[in-house]
Amino acid sequence: MLKNRLPLTPLAALALTWGAAFWNVAQAQDTIRIGAPLPITGPLSPEATKLQNGINLWVETANKAGGIKVGNKRMKVEVLAVDYQSNTPRAVQAAEKLITEDKVNFLFSPMGSGATKAASSVSEKYQVPTIAATASSEQVYDQGYKFLFGTFTPNQTLTEPLADLVQKQAPGVQRIAILARNDLFPLAIAQEMEKSAKSRNMKVVYSEKYAIGALDHASALSQIKALAPHWIFATGYINDLILIKKQMADLRIDAPVVTMIAGPAYKEFVDALGKGAENVTSAAWWHPAVRYKGSDLFGTTENFNKLFRAKYGRDPDYGEASSAVAGAVLQLAIEKAGTTDRKAVREALANMKVTTFFGPIEFGPTGQVHSLQPPVFQIQNGTQVVILPEAIKQGSLRLGVK
């Protein structure tokens, strides 16, 4: 995996930034510069690799086609990545530095809802259109900001279809246990799950949080086992969820339905757990099995998958697709506006109504996309199989997770 691309070390990122700054003096007229504060080192570094994969594919594809069409000339794209070491305050500093010192035209948000919200105050202050590829929590978008646009639908769009599906296909599932990472997104999605379950008269028998960086979940899982739930819903990032699932197997905990968000969408989850990943359900904002015919530079979903596979040797996941569509959407807005003027591009984003390889993109009044329907999937025989929505489903929900 990812062998063909080593992650940038902070030093290299710095060198890139400096180098680019000198280069800029000569080239400023012909390139569009986009800043990307990324958690290249620190606990979120696997996520940064994914964001870079998507962004790099977009940059490469756009430049290969001659660049972005601005009025009647074409401009090349350049992305300046700065490492914020998985440290949110540094993400805010990095965003400010990119805008004021590196003079970027536009910005991509840092990773996740928390850091996106923190950095959005800076881009709003300088009125820089900013695309968030990995922020779903509504609290990020309800600040009245005009320059922030996000490609993930709100969290409940993941839990509601999931709860519907389980209720319809496994009416015996009545008791749910929820274990959430004490972090903005994992907690928000757990709260949405609790709401979705309660509104369907399911009984929430356990609902607890675990600390960021927890190394052990045996106690919480022993308690959950004693409560014999039908549905275990765990949230966190991939390392948390690998550990939780491993400890569930260790403690011989089984349940008809086990859902984990967000980790099973990644191949590493299946690689790390082997058979232990079988029948785990999850939901994500995108899946390579969706089929859209877009007007963006990638065109169809198939074509995006093909380009991605050619560059990285495997299928894209939703994070990679989302960071690529963030670029594609920005490109569409610049082309529509016919200028790199920030206010004009902001207007084009706000009025956007297009279909992309990622799905239909239309931003709501808060700037969060509201036109997408996230797929539900399940690990079956070692691969992710889409089980919802009906139009693209590849299999049906299987019960029983060991």
Three state DSSP letters for the chain: CCCCCCCCCHHHHHHHHHHHHHHHHHHCCCEEEEEEEECCCCCCHHHHHHHHHHHHHHHHHHHHCCCEEECCEEEEEEEEEEECCCCHHHHHHHHHHHHHCCCCCEEECCCHHHHHHHHHHHHHHCCCCEEECCCCCHHHHCCCCCCEEECCCCCHHHHHHHHHHHHHHCCCCCEEEEEEECCHHHHHHHHHHHHHHHCCCCEEEEEEEECCCCCCCHHHHHHHHHHCCCEEEEECCHHHHHHHHHHHHHCCCCECEEEEECCCCCHHHHHHHHHHHCCCEEECCCCCCCCCECCCCCCEHHHHHHHHHHHHCCCCCHHHHHHHHHHHHHHHHHHHHCCCCHHHHHHHHHCCCEEECCEEECECCCCEECCCCCCEEEEECCEEEEEECHHHCCCCCCCCEC
* Residue 370 interacting with other proteins (CB under 8 A): no
Which positions from 165 through 184 interact with other proteins, judged by CB under 8 A? 179, 182
* Residue 9 interacting with other proteins (CB under 8 A): yes
| Among positions 74, 209, 370, 393, the unique one binding other proteins when judged by CB under 8 A | 209
Which positions from 269 through 328 interact with other proteins, judged by CB under 8 A? 271-276
| Among positions 249, 344, 392, 399, the unique one binding other proteins when judged by CB under 8 A | 249
Stretch that binds other proteins, among 148-156, 240-248, 315-323, 332-340 (CB under 8 A): 240-248
* Residue 338 interacting with other proteins (CB under 8 A): no
* Residue 6 interacting with other proteins (CB under 8 A): yes
* Residue 381 interacting with other proteins (CB under 8 A): no
Q: How far is the CB of 275 from other proteins (least distance, A)?
A: 8
Q: Which is nearer to other proteins, 266 or 358 (CB)?
A: 266
Stretch that binds other proteins, among 65-73, 121-129, 156-164, 242-250 (CB under 8 A): 242-250
Binding site for other proteins (CB under 8 A): 1-3, 6-7, 9-10, 41-43, 45-46, 48-49, 179, 182, 208-211, 213-220, 222-223, 226, 238-239, 242-243, 246-247, 249-252, 268, 271-276
